Structure 1
Amino acid sequence: MPRPPSPSRRAVLLGAGLALAVTGCGVRLEDDAPDLPLVPRRTPISGEAALLAMVTSLSRETDATSVPPGAAGERVETLVDALTELEVPEAEIRRAREADPTWTEAEDVAVYEGALRECQPGLLPLVGSLAVARVLRGPATLWAKEPPTAWQVTDPARSAAQDTRAALWSLTVVTARAGGDERSTVQAVVAGLQELLSRQVVAGDDDGSTAPLGYDLEESLATPDERATLVRETLATLGARYLALLTSLADDRDAAHEVVAWAAAPLRLGDPWQVEVGALPGLEG
């Protein structure tokens, strides 16, 4: 089976084709101001083309495809507010909102990847949250998964691995208390988190030598409802803690791309457990 295109290849696709795609939809990359002597044209913000294309994508997302249903409206308003604050012209934003996307689904994912890689550092948490929602919308195979490599700065990945180990310990206890179908469902979550942990230890160059031998678990796990509550809280917390890493990854956008996939994973694993996904994952509350 062929491997999905890598992020770097998709970034090339974005750079080569996005300008044509968005201008074909009516989104322009520059102001309409005439060239006047001694009056410089506005310099677009970092990643502006991809960010405006995200506005177009979100504006055309339907209630049926949005995760959670009906969330795209809040997401696009939040992104528009951020772009307005950064002085992206209202006319550019309006054209983006009114445009009809002409790109394929793979190219739509490339828009989010491009924005994540090119946006200025202050926008990274918001763009990362929007990208998580796009990954959850699927298909997940379009979000390319490169072989894990050590990050430029390993501390954030080690922090993620610490959180994942603690979650796995808790869910292992849940598995021991559960039975039948409940146990099988928890084991599926454990398997998914173990896959994440394997990537995190590589990213963090983490040999596990500083990992604690055990953890305190104060919650009662006597009933299925109590165990389900712990699973939901654990997965929701993991997603938010992974996304919080983005603030320290402005200089390593490959790592930021990986974190988006990490943050989406526990939310997807939590679907059978009714884990709530907010309109802006990791940014609410």
Structure 2
Amino acid sequence: MQDSGRPTRRLALVAGMTLGLGGCGIRLEDDAPHVPLVPTRTPIPGEADLLALLRGTRDLAGRLRGAGVDQAAELAGWLRGAGVDQAAELAGWHDRQAVVLDAALRRAGVPADAIDPAPTPSGSTGSTTGSTGSTTGSAGSTTGSASSTPAPAGTAALVRAEQDAVAAVGTLLGIADPGLLTMLSSMRASRLLACRILGRDPGPPTAGVAGADAPEPERVVPFLTASREAAYGLEVVAARASGARRDRTRAWLAQVRALALAQEQAAGASAPPAASAYELPLSPDEADGADRLAQYLLAALPGAYGDAIGAAARATDGRQPDRALVALGSDWLARAAGLAADSGTDPGAFPGLR
């Protein structure tokens, strides 16, 4: 008589197969044949779009460097006219973004052969995941202003690719895992800034971003507070400046005030009254103090926005991530990063991330 308390030989064999697969570190791919009692891998949210974004980022890095492109010299000259002293600087941003996105996908369990597929016989753009993507070019080189000279014909596809990336990342902000939202929002801000550097308007804020029309008003307040503090400091600087320096500071101040106004409208009744004065991080009365204060304020603004985006992306106390604000915040972050660049601070591949 068979003892019901002992496993049958068949069950023992299946269990041994399962343990053997796990112990050897074998991971079944999505399209692998199903093995009984062995779970199949469920793709992460937006996985196909994330992989497409990674491939496009690697490709753009190579094309922006001008590797193998006849128009490389023409592109480099035009980028310098647009305010980019080193044509490789934009490529460096994309290199770094590819490295970070690659690592994020691996941590999420995406198979390595999906992240780094075998090259096709016709050849493909090389992976940039082995590069650190240094962005140590001149600090003030990535201004948000566009060149008055039309881009060379060979750059049209590059500009379209950047615009497509803005839309793609916007879509991902509506579906990706919450743990990726802060990184993706910063990447979208970088791509928005790249579009402006390349002389193209990326379109209205959060265009094409699912659910990006109704952020939670109280979560907008940190953005507004940061903008008001920066605006107050710039008012102090403008009052002490003269000539071209005063005109430049007033131009920055107008843009920060525009951001604060948009944020005040988004915050609605949650917006607190503006303070009559804010504590300044540096004294404007020391030698070159006003200029250093302006640069400090504009360099700090992307970081403050990045912190606010990170808070909006977290699910805490039963609240879901505010994807609408994460998307809208990426547009504000892009504008703040452009101001920081104008004042002499390199925004890097991931503006706002500390």
Cα separation, 2, equivalents of 1:281 and 1:161? 18
Could you list the per-position Cα deviations for residues 149-171 of structure 1 after superposition, in whole angstroms to 9, with x for gaps in the alignment? 98442222112111111111110
Instruction: For 2:41, give the aligned amino acid.
Output: R
Q: Which has the larger radius of gyration?
A: 2
Q: 2:92 is paired with a residue of what secondary structure?
A: coil
Secondary structure, aligned partner of 1:213: coil
Answer yes or no: is 1:231 the counterpart of 2:294: yes
Counterpart Cα distance in 2 of 1:34 and 1:217: 60
Q: Secondary structure at the match of 2:268?
A: coil
Paired residue type of 2:217? T
Other-structure match for 1:185: 248
Letter of the structure 2 residue corresponding to residue 89 of structure 1: P
Residue 265 of structure 1 aligns with an amino acid whose one-letter code is: R
Give how far 1:37 is off.
5.8
Q: Is the alpha carbon distance of 1:181 and 1:115 closer, same or farther for their aligned partners in structure 2, counting shifts above 3 Å?
A: same
Q: Deviations over 1:151-204 (max 9, x none)?
A: 442222112111111111110010010111111111111111111111101111
Read off the aligned partner of 1:164 and give its amino acid letter.
S
Q: Give the match for residue 145 of structure 1.
A: 205
TM-score using structure 2 length: 0.63
SS at match of 1:274: coil
Q: Which amino acid aligns with 1:280?
A: F
Distance between the aligned counterparts of 1:237 and 1:68, measured in 2? 22
Correspondence 1:252 to 2:322:
yes
1:119, distance to aligned residue in structure 2 (A) = 1.1
- Alignment partner of 1:90 is 2:112: yes
68-77 or 220-229: bigger deviation: 220-229
- Alignment size in residue pairs: 253
Provide the rounded CA distance (Å) in 2 between the counterparts of 1:66 and 1:131.
Answer: 19
Per the TM alignment, residue 85 of structure 1 is displaced from its structure 2 partner at its CA by 0.6
Q: 2:32 aligns with which of 34, 37, 45?
A: 34
CA contact (8 A) 1:178 1:224 kept: no
2:303/2:351 contact within 8 Å kept = yes
2:106 paired with 1:46: no
2:179 match: 122
Contact 1:240 1:282 (C-alpha < 8 Å) held by counterparts: yes
1:95 is matched by which residue type in structure 2? P
Corresponding letter in the other structure for 1:123: L
Alignment-derived partner of residue 56 in structure 1: 55
Q: Which has the higher helix share?
A: 1
Using a 3 Å threshold, how does the CA distance of structure 1 residues 150 and 142 change in structure 2: closer, same or farther? closer
Cα distance in 2 for partners of 1:212, 1:91 equals 55
Aligned to 1:113: 170
> In the TM superposition, what is the alpha-carbon distance from 1:258 to its structure 2 partner?
0.7
Q: How far does residue 283 in structure 1 lie from its aligned partner after superposition?
A: 2.1
CA pair 141-154 structure 1, distance change in 2 beyond 3 A = same
Secondary structure, aligned partner of 2:284? coil
Corresponding position: 1:75 with 2:97: yes
Tell me the percent identity: 26
Give the residue type in structure 1 aligned to 2:97: R
CA deviation after TM superposition for structure 1 residue 144, in Å: 2.9
Contact 1:68–1:278 (Cα < 8 Å) also in 2:
no
CA 1:136–1:209 in 2, change beyond 3 Å: closer, same or farther? Answer: closer
Measured after TM superposition, the shift of residue 223 of structure 1 is 6.7
- 1:35–1:145 distance in 2 versus 1, CA, 3 Å: same
User: 1:9 is matched with which residue?
Assistant: none
Please give the alpha-carbon distance, in whole angstroms, between the structure 1 residues aligned to 2:118 and 2:298.
35
- Structure 1 pair 242/36, CA: closer, same or farther in 2 (3 Å)? same
In structure 1, how many angstroms separate the alpha carbons of the residues matched to 2:279 and 2:165? 44
Deviations 1:204-254 (A, max 9, x none): 114755332212336332478322221221112111111112233343222
Tell me the distance in 2 between the aligned counterparts of 1:83 and 1:218: 39
Aligned-pair CA distance for 1:80: 0.8
Greater shift, 238-247 or 169-178, is seen at 238-247
Q: CA 1:239 to 1:218, structure 2 compared with 1: closer, same or farther past 3 Å?
A: closer
Gaps of 5+ in 2: 1-27, 66-85, 126-156, 314-320
One-letter amino acid of the counterpart of residue 261, structure 1? D
**Counterpart amino acid of residue 219 in structure 1:** L
Distance in 1 separating the partners of 2:177 and 2:203: 21
- Find the counterpart in structure 1 of residue 4 from structure 2: none
> For residues 164 and 260 of structure 1, do their structure 2 counterparts lie closer, same or farther at Cα, with a shift above 3 Å needed?
same
Note the C-alpha offset of 1:90.
Answer: 0.5
Structure 1 alignment gaps of length 5 or more? 1-29
Task: Give the secondary-structure state (helix, strand or coil) at the position aligned to 2:113.
Answer: helix
Q: Secondary structure at the match of 1:79?
A: helix
How far residue 65 of structure 1 moved from its aligned partner, in angstroms, is 6.3
The match for 1:269 is 339
Change (3 A) 1:206 1:187: farther
Give, in whole Å, the separation in 2 of the partners of 1:225 and 1:50. 48
